[in-house]
Amino acid sequence: MAEILGLGLSHFPGPMVPPELWTKQLVTNVQKGRIPAEVYEDRSSWPEPMRAEWGDDEGLSSARRHYDELLAGYRQLRAELDAFNPDFVLIWGDDQYENFHKDCIPAFCVYILDEVRCQPLAGNPRGPYRTELNPWGFPSDKELRALGAREPANQLARYLLEQGFDISYAYQARSERGLAHSFANTLVYLDYDWRGMDYPVLPFHVNCYGSEMMKTAAGDKVVELSPPAPSPKRCFEIGRATARFFAQSPWRAALIGSASWSHGTLTPKHHRLYPDYEADQARLRELRANRFDEWGRLDLKQIEDSGQHEMLNWICLAGAMTELGQEAEVLQYAESYLFNSSKCFARFRPRALTTA
């Protein structure tokens, strides 16, 4: 049986800019009308942990501390990846209207690529921080290149179709920036010092945003939502099928679920100001207790209500690790109300055998 490594992480855009700019995301969302100005300005209405993060320096100290936590998590996972030395890295990530537009938004899409090319910094001036600045001083058109995992991707797509999963596949990215930021950021963070990472990459798109992808409005009233994301059950099943395929393959595969959990920007019940702390804590308890097989039975409406849309990427990973009988180890859990989401870093290994 082939060897498989499972890793979970976040592609939160914060580390693409200096942490001193991180609270600009809140200001940007106020300016865009996503967060009511009165809610942002009334700090007394914020949860106490969020006020504590804001502190007396408008979140600067907390941003630097959170940045250090994230980098420590990414470096731990990079060390795990290097020790495993995979033949390729599969990333479950989502496309937020970057490559898939109104003409087609697939539930799942396997990229069959010879080469991965993207410009991970090109979107920063249009993103939540509105800046050309980045921690490395690179120009915004800095290109990231990696080998594609064409043969494993092609064979995986064939297998999933044969197994009844009506997935899409793509031989190129349509965006000038290349792959969506969920994939590009993952590659940057696992090589944050830009030393190079030679593992071929297999991007596996999941339409996490579903009904949040596009909305039609009449005045202040939303009259139509785009169709929903694939269900947690389907994501879990496709993760299990992916693991079954690679377990019988000749390759050493690293499977990565890339996402933060609840997003403040996706949680209307909190005025899109901060994430769903209780829902994230429930998922964390399940992960630490190796009950992540329960994630395939979560309800999509429950996930959407909690702003956990992107957890579908982790649910694909959870399905794969359940299929293989792996157990989870949480390496880092960086909690935050102020910086849109909490971020989990985890690895999965074969369950330890017990003796009577």
pLDDT in tens, 314-329: 999 999 999 999 999 9
Q: Write out pLDDT tens, residues 94-151.
A: 999 999 998 999 999 999 999 999 999 998 888 889 899 999 999 999 999 999 999 9
Q: How far apart are CA 42 and CA 29, in angstroms?
A: 15
**What does pTM read for this prediction?**
0.96
Under 8 Å between Cβ of 64 and 19: yes
pLDDT at 211: 86
> In the 8-state DSSP scheme, what is residue 205?
E
Task: Identify the DSSP state of 34.
Answer: S
Q: What is the CATH number of domain 4-350?
A: 3.40.830.10
% of the chain at pLDDT higher than 70 = 97
Give the angle subtended at the CA of 307 by the CAs of 165 and 202, to the nearest 5°. 40
Question: Domains of the chain: which residue ranges?
Answer: 4-350
Over the chain, what is the mean pLDDT?
94
Confidence label for 350 from pLDDT (cuts 50, 70 and 90): confident
Crossing angle (nearest 10°) for helices 150-162 and 232-247 = 120
CB-CB neighbours of 202 under 10 Å: 29
Task: Give the DSSP letter of residue 122.
Answer: T
